[in-house]
A and B are shown apart, each in its own frame.
Chain A
Amino acid sequence: MAKKATSFRRRLIKRLTVLLLALTAAAIAGVAVYAHHLAVKIDGRFSSRRWQIPSTIYSDSTLLFPGQGRNHDLFLAKLEALGYRRVNQSPALGEYRLRPGRLEIFLHDLKTPSQTRSGFPVQITLDPNRIGTITDQRSGRALQLLELEPEKIGLFFGAAREQRKLVAIAQVPRPLIQAVLAAEDNRFYHHHGVDPRGLLRALWANLRAGGIRQGGSTITQQLSKNYFLTPERTLSRKLRELLMALVIDARYAKDEILEIYLNEIYLGQKGSVSINGIGEAADFYFGKPVEALSLTEGAALAGLIKAPNLHSPYQDPDRCRNRRDSVLKAMAKNGWLTEEQLHAALEKPVTPAGFRTYHRKAPYFMDYLSEQLGALYSPEALASMGMSIYTTLDTQIQSAAETALLQGLARLEKTPGLRAQRSPANRLQGAVIVMQPKTGHILAMVGGRDYAESQFNRASQARRQPGSTFKPFVFLAGLERFTPASRLSNRPQVYEIDGQRWEPQNFERETAPELSLRQALAHSANRATVYLAMQTGLDAVVATAEHFQFSTRLRPLPAIALGAFEVIPLELARAYCTFAAGGLEPYPLSLKAVVNEAGEVLERRHMNIERVISPAAAFIMNSLLASVVTEGTAASLAQRGIRFPAAGKTGTTNNSRDAWFVGYTPDLLALVWVGFDDGAGMHASGASAALPIWAELLKAVPQTVSGTWFSPPPGVVQRMVCSQSGQLALKACPSPMAEYFMENNAPAAPCPLHGRRNPFREFFDDVQNRLHHK
């Protein structure tokens, strides 16, 4: 019986052993299969795109040169926006020092699609309101030109709203790596992904504390957890983390794992955007590229890994410093710092760059840009491919335009008529567009007074009647037959339109029965303009205007002369650029280039010009529109401090629904529109509502004003003419004046009003003139 029982036990043990062995083999096989599955998963993720990186949008670079006008406040704001830190000692990379009469800047590296330059120290002497000299402090050489790097103005975020700047392990300074290892995993180069010693130490610490105090996770485990797993604390997830860490360590080099980890880790919050990776954190916390981080800055960043927001220098500087000090001490304990180095480092304070949130700059411009980019890239690509998008925006001009519009509208709302009409739902609105007329670059765009309140872009989407700002196109058409000195009837006149009587009225009390063409435009005389349009031919006016590529359909009706057809403000600004650009109409550009992560240029946009009118006609128009500023409806610009030569045109539509001013110099064109979205009248004119905004804007950007004027091109002649007849002036003419003409229709006959009438003399003069002009 006993023998039988023993035999049964042996058989049972044997069977159990076989079963156990089979189970163990199955478990090993299962783990092996699962490890293989993980390896495939890891390889798949690591070999493909590792992170979603939003594309970054940059402004244009900033040019500085001696003698350039300067708005001190805007310039310093620009330096701050570029991440330069103000210091009181000799500036290091990315710092500036302001001293009486001069500014010292240690420039950042410059990287644009067309050039790369390392940072270097410069000194700029400051004359009152101007740049004096610019000196390269390395060589003492005077510079004729200095280019500041483009400013980051926005990001195309995906749903994750993460921002990271990728760095290669070779870029990361050794002390920073040691600081990270000291803080997180000092045996990283010695274990195989999992550190049993670290696990035991953590277990002991947790037992003593009576709770979880230490994780004991290696850098590889943290990477597995952050990159592949969900954050819940379960045994199965921990086992997967351990297995994954072993697989990663077996398949990848230590430096490769560390590089991925340094680019992956979460290091804080910038508003609603998370800061990921050491590269972005270096910029956010210290305003530097990772290569330029000092030992103490590196230690502070390493100290953030444990609890980024708790230890952030922006949240709690003391706590940040304490944590940094503990990292420095851990480095010394590992033999990576000497006692002297440790003491010197502990003495240094933590000095962050200053909190900069991802404030959305120039939101209407960004929307306009997004529309342009939408034709090239999907929103997903923009949010994940980490492209650099270079634009034409000038952030100083944009800032000045936003301020001028807000202040101008606030000023207008204080006037009694407007105050009564104010309601939160229908506030007075405005738009500003600033362009470089020669190139078509959009330098600034403000599509409304508050983007948060209304995203409708009145600069590029609104269609409004241009009123008198359309008149220059009528006068341009008239230049085929008339000259600036031609006399136009300004008498009341009734026109029949579709059986309806229409009698244009003058806005100003301009009752002279006749005006010269120049006076008619300067004073925006409606009757004289309609007379000119009728004499020129309405079809000819439409044909001329169509050359400027307005997207709205124009019809040959007398009211076209007074701007009764709607236009898009951006199109109107573009059309005016043609005058300032010598007859070449530029295509409005917001995008300059798109560059991928590898620095390869994917897209370029260059200025695109098309000749619309002759240089001579453009010069005459500039001259006529300059009279608007010197003696016409925009003459108040002089009282508003505009002392440089400028041309422009005011515009006011029926019942003051729209107030316009389009003004320009050879360097810059700005359009201002003011009105209500629902078309309510505002009891203000272009000269009283839009023009002051233009003046404030231009005064705030003296760096863009050279004070030059257009030179007469071939085909333009100057003659002395009688102001009463418009013909060549005689000695007897009471008010002769110099006037520009296109050579092909300059007056040839002497003034018929003030000469002695000698038929024989006229006969000879006529023969002489005919021979002369043959």
Chain B
Amino acid sequence: MTSRTAFITNSLRCALAALMAALLLAACQKPMVVYTPTDRPAAPPRPEIRVPEPPPPPPPPPTPQQAAARQLTEEGRKLLGADRADDAITVLERALSLDAENGRNYYFLGEAWLRKQNFEQAREFNRLAELYFRDNPEWLRSVARQRGRIDAGGK
């Protein structure tokens, strides 16, 4: 090995070592701070003993408008129970005009359209029920069962 070759090899080794050192340094460097919507500091490490979390706060009481809509939804449900699907839809549509985020209302509308064998409309309302019940596992199961009946009927 000539001295020239050795020089090049050593230079390459040094460069490689420097590169490795730089990469190591970069990896250890504090990452760039990206804003989050709340801009909270990072959560502290989890303690060893898990403290039971407090129960979630109760849902806020319904507004008078929501209460009025719920009364209509209940009327719609009863009409559905009495096999008056058309009357139920009329009443449930009124409820929808007062509160468009009530999953029960969409569920019963889906049910009413299912009774009328309009599977397309039933499916749309079932999807809406799923959307508004996304945090309610119990209702989501009912919505999934309804979807099964819609799919079976629509085939």
- Chain B contact residue count (CB 8 A cutoff): 42
When C-beta atoms are compared, the residue in chain A nearest to B62 turns out to be A144
Whether B79 lies near A439 (C-beta < 8 A) is no
Chain B residues closer than 8 Å to A750, beta-carbon distance: 32, 34
Q: Mark B111-130, 1 if CB is under 8 A from A, else 0.
A: 00000000001001001100
Which of A65, A582, A764 interacts with B64 by CB under 8 Å?
A: A65
Question: Could you tell me the distance in whole angstroms from the C-beta of A626 to the nearest C-beta in chain B?
Answer: 17
A714-B134, A719-B37 known; A65 and B67 CB under 8 Å? yes
Chain B residues closer than 8 Å to A234, beta-carbon distance: none
Whether A144 lies near B68 (C-beta < 8 A) is yes
Chain A residues closer than 8 Å to B90, beta-carbon distance: 113-114, 592-593, 604, 606
A601-B86, A607-B93 known; A144 and B34 CB under 8 Å? no
The answer to whether A743 has its CB under 8 Å from any CB of chain B is no
Whether A615 lies near B34 (C-beta < 8 A) is no
Whether B97 lies near A615 (C-beta < 8 A) is no
Question: Could you tell me the distance in whole angstroms from the C-beta of B114 to the nearest C-beta in chain A?
Answer: 14
Taking beta carbons and an 8 Å cutoff, which residues of B are in contact with A?
A: 22-23, 25-27, 29, 31-37, 39, 63-65, 67-68, 70-72, 79, 84, 86-87, 89-91, 93-94, 96-98, 100-101, 121, 124, 127-128, 131, 134
The answer to whether A595 has its CB under 8 Å from any CB of chain B is no
Q: How long is the Cα–Cα vector from A706 to B66 in the complex, in angstroms?
A: 10
Whether A765 lies near B64 (C-beta < 8 A) is no
When C-beta atoms are compared, the residue in chain A nearest to B70 turns out to be A144
Q: Mark A582-613, 1 if CB is under 8 A from B, else 0.
A: 10100000001100000001001011111100
Q: How long is the Cα–Cα vector from A593 to B101 in the complex, in angstroms?
A: 26
Q: How long is the Cα–Cα vector from A615 to B96 in the complex, in angstroms?
A: 17
Taking beta carbons and an 8 Å cutoff, which residues of A are in contact with B?
A: 63, 65-68, 113-115, 144-145, 436, 438-439, 441, 581-582, 584, 592-593, 601, 604, 606-611, 615, 666-667, 706, 711, 713-714, 718-720, 728-731, 733, 736, 738, 750, 755-756, 758, 760-761, 763-765, 768
Chain A residues closer than 8 Å to B97, beta-carbon distance: 436, 438-439, 441, 667
Whether B68 lies near A114 (C-beta < 8 A) is no
A113-B90, A606-B90 known; A438 and B96 CB under 8 Å? yes
A65-B65, A144-B71, A145-B68 known; A761 and B124 CB under 8 Å? no
Whether B37 lies near A720 (C-beta < 8 A) is yes
Looking at chain B's contact residues, is the secondary structure mostly helix, strand, loop, or mixed? helix
Whether B87 lies near A113 (C-beta < 8 A) is yes
A-B pairs with beta carbons under 8 Å apart, 7 shown: A67-B64, A144-B71, A436-B97, A606-B90, A615-B131, A711-B101, A760-B27
Q: How long is the Cα–Cα vector from A269 to B121 in the complex, in angstroms?
A: 48
Chain A residues closer than 8 Å to B23, beta-carbon distance: 760
Whether B79 lies near A114 (C-beta < 8 A) is yes
Chain B residues closer than 8 Å to A713, beta-carbon distance: 131
When C-beta atoms are compared, the residue in chain A nearest to B26 turns out to be A760
In this complex, the member of A606, A609, A731, A763 whose beta carbon has the largest number of chain B beta carbons within 10 angstroms is A606
Whether B93 lies near A720 (C-beta < 8 A) is no
Whether A736 lies near B68 (C-beta < 8 A) is no
Whether A706 lies near B79 (C-beta < 8 A) is no
Chain A residues closer than 8 Å to B37, beta-carbon distance: 718-720, 738
Whether A145 lies near B71 (C-beta < 8 A) is yes
Whether B31 lies near A67 (C-beta < 8 A) is no
Whether B22 lies near A760 (C-beta < 8 A) is yes
Whether B35 lies near A730 (C-beta < 8 A) is yes
Whether A63 lies near B34 (C-beta < 8 A) is no
Chain A residues closer than 8 Å to B34, beta-carbon distance: 720, 728-730, 750
Chain B residues closer than 8 Å to A768, beta-carbon distance: 31
Whether B93 lies near A439 (C-beta < 8 A) is yes
Which of B32, B65, B71, B131 interacts with A761 by CB under 8 Å?
A: B32
Whether A730 lies near B67 (C-beta < 8 A) is no
In this complex, the member of B27, B39, B91, B100 whose beta carbon has the largest number of chain A beta carbons within 10 angstroms is B100
Which of B31, B64, B101 interacts with A144 by CB under 8 Å?
A: B64
Q: How long is the Cα–Cα vector from A718 to B25 in the complex, in angstroms?
A: 33
Question: Could you tell me the distance in whole angstroms from the C-beta of A729 to the nearest C-beta in chain B?
Answer: 4
Chain B residues closer than 8 Å to A761, beta-carbon distance: 26, 29, 31-32
Chain A residues closer than 8 Å to B121, beta-carbon distance: 608-609
Q: How long is the Cα–Cα vector from A594 to B114 in the complex, in angstroms?
A: 23
Question: Could you tell me the distance in whole angstroms from the C-beta of A691 to the nearest C-beta in chain B?
Answer: 25
Chain B residues closer than 8 Å to A731, beta-carbon distance: 32-33, 35
Chain A residues closer than 8 Å to B26, beta-carbon distance: 758, 760-761, 763-764
Chain A residues closer than 8 Å to B68, beta-carbon distance: 63, 65-66, 144-145
Chain B residues closer than 8 Å to A584, beta-carbon distance: 124, 128
Question: Could you tell me the distance in whole angstroms from the C-beta of A747 to the nearest C-beta in chain B?
Answer: 10
16 extra interface residue pairs, beta carbon distance < 8 Å, beyond A593-B90, A730-B33? A65-B98, A68-B65, A114-B86, A115-B91, A144-B64, A144-B71, A145-B68, A145-B71, A438-B96, A607-B93, A666-B100, A714-B131, A720-B35, A720-B39, A760-B27, A761-B26
When C-beta atoms are compared, the residue in chain A nearest to B39 turns out to be A720
Whether A609 lies near B35 (C-beta < 8 A) is no
Whether B22 lies near A729 (C-beta < 8 A) is no
Q: How long is the Cα–Cα vector from A511 to B65 in the complex, in angstroms?
A: 45
